A and B are shown apart, each in its own frame.
Chain A
């Protein structure tokens, strides 16, 4: 079965430090890739998405992600983390022709003031 892996369950960073959240997906048809963020008790907010073209995509709140087909990865980055970025982050993939958006299990981000 096709799958999405977020290797880090919980990451803690200091405010102002850089951040990279990892996401790997199983090889298959053309992938369409998403990153969502969820604050406690809230719904999902789309940070960014990659469909085609430039493999470095910019999103909201200063986030960016890079698609690397050779590594089956779509890692999320932010150069300087703010306390308000503390939340849970989900990587998700839908493969071309499929209806099923498959999620990783999430990475919880804690930010130390």
Chain B
């Protein structure tokens, strides 16, 4: 099925460990995004990639790095995980700027840092 695929779906890390969240889309979209969701905060943009080869900071980029590996794939890396990064992470994609084209979201990665 066409869409945005995120891996893994669940992960538990110890403080200080590193990991990479993977995201891939098969809709030939140009733009990709990483959001985090915390209770009472809605979704906040971490990083985005407007097109292959470019990345930009969003609202809450500290503690994260991203790589736009190719047009399909956009990964999010936590170099040294902290408990404050416990969250649900969503990847999304859109064809150019999101409006008026809309966004497609993945099903999320639930990350716990202990």
A residues contacting B by CB (< 8 A) are: 4, 9, 31-32, 34, 42-44, 46, 49, 51-52, 90, 92, 94-106
Chain B residues near A4 (CB-CB < 8 A): 42
Chain A CB within 10 A, most for which of B40, B58, B59, B99: B99
When each residue 69-108 of chain B gets 1 if its CB lies under 8 Å from chain A and 0 otherwise, what string results? 0000000000000000000001010100111101101111
Q: A43 near B90 (CB under 8 angstroms)?
A: yes
Q: B97 near A94 (CB under 8 angstroms)?
A: yes
Q: Is the interface of A mostly helix, strand, loop or mixed?
A: loop
Known A92-B43, A99-B48; further 4 A-B contacts with Cβ < 8 A: A44-B43, A96-B97, A99-B56, A100-B59
Q: B100 near A52 (CB under 8 angstroms)?
A: yes
Cβ-neighbour of B41 out of A98, A100, A105 (below 8 A): A105
Closest 8 CB pairs of A and B: A32-B99, A103-B42, A51-B100, A94-B99, A105-B42, A43-B107, A103-B43, A94-B98
**Is B45's beta carbon under 8 Å from chain A?**
yes
Q: How far is the CA of A90 from the CA of B105 in the complex (A)?
A: 14
Beyond A43-B107, A51-B99, A96-B99, whether A101 also contacts B33 by CB under 8 A is yes
Q: B45 near A100 (CB under 8 angstroms)?
A: yes
**Which of chain A's residues has its CB closest to B32's CB?**
A99
Q: A105 near B100 (CB under 8 angstroms)?
A: no
**Which of chain A's residues has its CB closest to B4's CB?**
A43
Q: B42 near A32 (CB under 8 angstroms)?
A: no
12 contacts between A and B (CB under 8 A): A4-B42, A32-B100, A46-B102, A51-B100, A90-B43, A92-B43, A94-B97, A97-B97, A99-B33, A101-B98, A101-B103, A103-B44
Chain B residues near A99 (CB-CB < 8 A): 31, 33, 48, 50, 56, 94, 97-98
**Which of chain A's residues has its CB closest to B107's CB?**
A43
A69 to chain B, nearest CB (A): 15
When each residue 36-59 of chain B gets 1 if its CB lies under 8 Å from chain A and 0 otherwise, what string results? 000011111100101000001011
